Each structure stands twice: as structure tokens, then as C-alpha cells.
Amino acid sequence: MSGRNPDAGPVIERDGASFRHPSTDARQSGNLQVNNLPEDAVTMSKPAKTEAELIAMARAELKAHVDCPDGITISVIPDGDSWEFRAKADDATIAKPGYPECVAMLVQIGDHLCKQYDFKE
């Protein structure tokens, strides 16, 4: 078939009729190309939580999963468009059993919650 666009995908002829087969090859321009976002797509924003709300959520999760020693102060640190939890404690609290596991779990909880909630200052 002369004059056809070579990038439009292969042409299949059956019973004297020509059919254009859509291409799945990214280098060709068939109708099966990936369109990541339409021009009028609306991105959903995450609900925003205050520092107190985020810390309360973190403490509830910590209580359910690990036995944290008393004396740990949790704060929320903004990080660009995201945020993370920060733990502080005195030397005596840091030396208590369970402190490293508690901080590790706090990091995991923060990773999970920052995907669900924005930080409202």
C-alpha cells in the first residue's frame, strides 16, 4: 500500500480489504500508545494533618507494634514537599531496651503516613 505512514503500524490484508493493526511498539504511533495523563487530568491532593495529629497517629501505631521506652520526643520535620518524623531522647532513654527498634519502627510509620498525608504547619 503506497503512501501509508510507516510509523502507523502494520497493515493486514484480508479478503481484499486492508486493516491497520494498532502498534504496541513504543517507536510506532499506533493507537495503543500510553498516555500517562490527559491534559485535563486532576491530581488528587492528600489530606493535611497537623504535627500533633501526625504524632498522635505515630504513637498509636508504635504502641500497637513495639514496646517503646518512655521519654522519646517525636517531632515532624518538613522535607521539601514531604515530611518525616524525628525522634529525640536523653542518653538514659537511648540506652533502654527497645529504643533502637522503636526508632526504626517510627521511620517505617513515617514512610507510610507521609504517602497518605501532607503536613499542615
In this structure, the answer to whether residues 95 and 65 fall within a common structural domain is yes
Q: Enter the C-alpha cell of residue 115.
A: 504517602
In this structure, the answer to whether residues 57 and 88 fall within a common structural domain is yes
* pLDDT for position 63: 94
- 11 domain-assigned: yes
In this structure, the answer to whether residues 103 and 57 fall within a common structural domain is yes
In this structure, the answer to whether residues 32 and 80 fall within a common structural domain is no
* pLDDT for position 78: 95
Residue range(s) defining the domain that contains residue 95: 48-119
8 Å CB contact between 87 and 99: no
Burial 3-13 (b: 16+ CB within 10 A, else e): eeeeeebeeee
Residues of the chain where predicted confidence (pLDDT) is lower than 70: 1-43
In this structure, the answer to whether residues 56 and 10 fall within a common structural domain is no
Whole-prediction pTM:
0.64
Angle between helices 51-65 and 99-116 (to 10 degrees): 130
C-beta contacts of 26-34 below 8 A and 24+ residues apart: 29/5
In this structure, the answer to whether residues 21 and 70 fall within a common structural domain is no
In this structure, the answer to whether residues 56 and 110 fall within a common structural domain is yes
Please name the helix (run of DSSP H) or strand (run of DSSP E) that holds residue 86, with its range, or none.
strand 82-88
* pLDDT for position 107: 97
* pLDDT for position 8: 52
β-strand pairing of 48-49 with 118-119: parallel
pLDDT in tens, 45-58: 899 999 999 999 99
C-beta contacts of 87-95 below 8 A and 24+ residues apart: 93/69
How many domains are contained in the chain? Answer: 2
In this structure, the answer to whether residues 70 and 113 fall within a common structural domain is yes
In this structure, the answer to whether residues 79 and 98 fall within a common structural domain is yes
In this structure, the answer to whether residues 27 and 67 fall within a common structural domain is no
In this structure, the answer to whether residues 24 and 54 fall within a common structural domain is no
* pLDDT for position 90: 97
* pLDDT for position 99: 96
